[in-house]
A = this chain, B = another copy of it.
Amino acid sequence: MLIYSYLMKNTNSIDHICKVIHKDVVNNVKQQMPHDDSFVYDLAEFFKAFADGTRLRILLALRISEMCVCDIAALLGMNHSAISHQLRILSHLRLVKQRKYGKVVYYTLNDVHVKALLDLGFEHVNE
């Protein structure tokens, strides 16, 4: 009796993954959804760029003007290092590009979609 109860409990906690209620819906969606896991991963990585306050403010700033690391740090009242780390992330995501002039590295937006994306975000938040 105790064993049975234990097994029941265990089974319940394992298949908390319940039975599919609408098999047709699940199959339909499964077909139409992106099948490539790495695609979904890359897509999430892309959106992550905008999902942090610091990176977002950097992008919002670069939307207005090309800026160097020093200026961005001053603008946001933050460490060089923190800005540089975030710019590296944005750079790897191909969202910003850089040009070097002497010691100074100037960053600009590198993607036509960035502005459009920020605009959509504006609309949503302003509702």
**A contacts, CB < 8 Å to B:** 16-22, 25-26, 28-30, 32-34, 39-44, 46-48, 50-53, 56-57, 60-61, 64-68, 70-71, 73-75, 77-81, 104, 111, 113, 116-117, 120-125
Contacts and interface: CB of A to CB of B under 8 A. Distances in A.
Given A33-B61, A120-B113, A73 B28 contact: no
Contacts of A40: 53, 56-57, 60
Number of copies: 2
A52 B50 CA distance: 12
B56 A43 contact: yes
Given A25-B67, A26-B74, A117-B120, 17 more contacts: A17-B80, A19-B70, A21-B68, A21-B71, A22-B67, A26-B71, A29-B67, A29-B75, A30-B75, A33-B57, A33-B61, A40-B53, A44-B52, A44-B53, A44-B56, A47-B56, A113-B124
